[in-house]
A and B are shown apart, each in its own frame.
Chain A
Amino acid sequence: MNSRLLKELPDLVNNAVISQEVAANIETYYQSQQSNSPNRLFVVFGVLGSLLVGLGVILILAHNWDDFSRSTKTLFAFSPLLIGQISVAFSILKKKSKTWKEASGTFLFFTVGSSIALVSQIYNIPGDLSAYVLTWILLCAPLIYLLKSNMLAILHLVFVTFYAYEIGYGNYYSDETPWMYLVLIAIALPHYIQLLKHKTNDNITSVFNWLYPLSFTIVLGAFVKDLSELGFLMYILLFSIFYTIGKIPFFDSQKLRKNGYLIFGSLGIVILMLTMSFDGFWSVEQLLFFAQESYLSLVLFIVNVLILGFAFYKHWIKSFNLFQYVFILFALLYLGGLNLPVVGTIIVNVLILALGITTIKIGADKFHFGILNYGLFIITALVVCRFFDTNMSFVIRGLLFVGVGLSFFLTNYIMLRKQKSKAKTLKQ
């Protein structure tokens, strides 16, 4: 980014946009910044290198070297671990750079895993994969804080998600719920909060803004056991939480691509609702109230209300945004509509239409073509879904398509015109 700016400087001076002096100031400013921050590329390659070496060690050891005795194999199991520990100790003691800490920490992470795996292999300890991964995660979790390492936090999150996935979905017969996942996430949260506080706009923080909602989205299904009908409600409630978090000014003021919560929330709500807009969905026979799923739905609902209430209290919500209230309508619909397929289907279809219009309005207000077209896309998706399952006549369906197609042209055209006239007034 700044190198592009530096390249532009002579051009700007030549065209008398800025003076020679200003150009020189800009140059010295960026140079001083660069010498202060460690070379980011170097950190990335250091981490990538030790990631590959670590994985390589696991693979080499997984060959199972038959020719060696049990004690030699045991030595093999421990030596990479010791090397990893020594390099981490060295980088702490000598106060080495961030690159050193990230790279040695990543390497140690994988050697811990490989040493446990190799011992299990030498003694033929059968693999309960989730228990193995849990031991591994717990043995490495303190490193996140001791090394202040982002990479270890990422690895933690990835493996924690894998662990919950393995427990929740991995074994068809087991009915375990990965409660431990919540504890493991809580272990990593202080690190994330620190990042949000002190490195709000860094790229690494936005990586976590995506990883956390991704992890929650993957894992929530693992908490759904007997009462799978409530799964949809739970996911709607979760996406609604994401959306409301994404709308908090702290996240909303950042670039859209850094706001994983908002994108996850919005896409999640729309996709789920589209799935529910088919009339076959709403014929559920029974709804139990005293099941794990009902309690979790209740908790998610309360979290939604709390966040929304807090947002009102802080005057963060300035205008009405249907996305933020969808969860209330949905909870009511779920309680009442499950035995009335017609009602459920009609309301969901109307809701999707309303959400599409809301999005178009947000896009128009913000002069954002992306959001505007996303809104149109929601309506298009709704129409396409109806194309398949309604008994509407072909003429009406055809007219609907023509209508939506025309609205794409018209709204974009109107917005373009508005933008041009705005630019004109600015010039004058």
Chain B
Amino acid sequence: MKSKYIFILFIILAIVQLCIPAQMINHRETILDEGKAFKFKTEPIDPSDPFKGKYIYLNYELESFKVDSMDWKTNQDIYVSIVNDSFGFVKASAIQKEAPENGDFVKAKVDWYNTNMKEVQFTFPFNEFYMEETKAYDAELAHREAQRDSLPDNTYALVYIKNGEAVLDNVFINDIPIADFVEK
């Protein structure tokens, strides 16, 4: 093959290589711009990823919902309808297998169906919050400290949601962004 053609093919490949991350960015930016913000009560713990670095894993308080039917499979996609409670935090109002036509909802994955409690346990696809490597462990400690004080509901994640898709924007302890809270 002539090097001219190879070069043209390479340029096409290079554009694709650029487009994939660009598209990922664009998708999230739209949600951040046009989506609605919700507060999810949470509990962070600190693992790490070989390629992306340190993150805190977020255990959400909202992780199950009582249902009547038993027909739920592990790893199945579900849609959780959400509303705000009187304190301004998210609670679930229903879960269903198809996206609801009205109201706010967010996508989640079924972990398992608890037959004793008649509950579906699920995980949200925004449970990793990336932090500077020195801060991730401190963040976990800071959260534990903050839990001990008398104020209730002090750690939450701010999540932007549009058409069921979510972007985790920040995590707050006592209304201060967790990265700043750790520095103090």
A binds B: yes
Q: Which residues in A have their C-beta under 8 angstroms from that of B130?
A: 64, 121-122, 124
Q: Which residue of B lies closest to A65 (CB)?
A: B132
Contact B25 A112 (CB under 8 A): no
Contact B25 A123 (CB under 8 A): yes
Q: Which residue of B lies closest to A132 (CB)?
A: B51
Question: A137 CB to closest chain B CB, in angstroms?
Answer: 12
Contact B52 A120 (CB under 8 A): yes
Q: Does B75 contact A (CB under 8 A)?
A: yes
Q: Which residues in B have their C-beta under 8 angstroms from that of A120?
A: 24, 52
Q: Which residue of B lies closest to A92 (CB)?
A: B7
Given A64-B53, A119-B21, A124:B126 Cβ within 8 A: yes
Given A93-B3, A127-B52, A139:B17 Cβ within 8 A: yes
Contact B24 A124 (CB under 8 A): no
Produce 1/0 per residue, A77-96, CB < 8 A to B: 11001100100110011010
Q: Does A1 contact B (CB under 8 A)?
A: no
Q: Does B167 contact A (CB under 8 A)?
A: yes
Produce 1/0 per residue, B102-113, CB < 8 A to A: 000000000000
Interface residue count on the B side (C-beta < 8 Å): 37
Q: Does B141 contact A (CB under 8 A)?
A: no
Q: How far is the CA of A353 from the CA of B138 in the complex (A)?
A: 61
Q: Which residues in B have their C-beta under 8 angstroms from that of A118?
A: 21, 52
Question: B131 CB to closest chain A CB, in angstroms?
Answer: 6
Q: Which residues in B have their C-beta under 8 angstroms from that of A89?
A: 7, 10-11, 14
Contact A126 B21 (CB under 8 A): no
Question: A30 CB to closest chain B CB, in angstroms?
Answer: 31
Contact A143 B13 (CB under 8 A): yes
Question: B65 CB to closest chain A CB, in angstroms?
Answer: 20
Interface residue count on the A side (C-beta < 8 Å): 43
Q: Does B71 contact A (CB under 8 A)?
A: no
Q: Does B41 contact A (CB under 8 A)?
A: no
From DSSP, what is the main secondary structure of chain A's interface residues?
Answer: helix
Per a CB cutoff under 8 Å, which of B6, B127, B128 touches A92? B6
Contact A78 B54 (CB under 8 A): no
Q: Which residues in B have their C-beta under 8 angstroms from that of A324?
A: none
Per a CB cutoff under 8 Å, which of A62, A135, A139 touches B52? A62
Q: Does A113 contact B (CB under 8 A)?
A: yes
Q: Which residues in A have their C-beta under 8 angstroms from that of B179?
A: 66
Which of A66, A74, A92, A146 has most B Cβ within 10 Å? Answer: A66
Q: Which residue of A lies closest to B32 (CB)?
A: A123
Known: A62-B133, A64-B131. 9 other contacts (CB 8 A): A62-B52, A81-B21, A115-B17, A119-B21, A121-B52, A122-B25, A123-B25, A123-B28, A129-B49
Sampled A-B contacts (21; CB under 8 Å): A62-B53, A64-B132, A82-B18, A85-B17, A89-B11, A115-B21, A117-B52, A119-B25, A121-B52, A121-B130, A123-B24, A123-B28, A123-B168, A124-B126, A126-B126, A126-B127, A127-B49, A127-B128, A139-B17, A142-B13, A146-B9
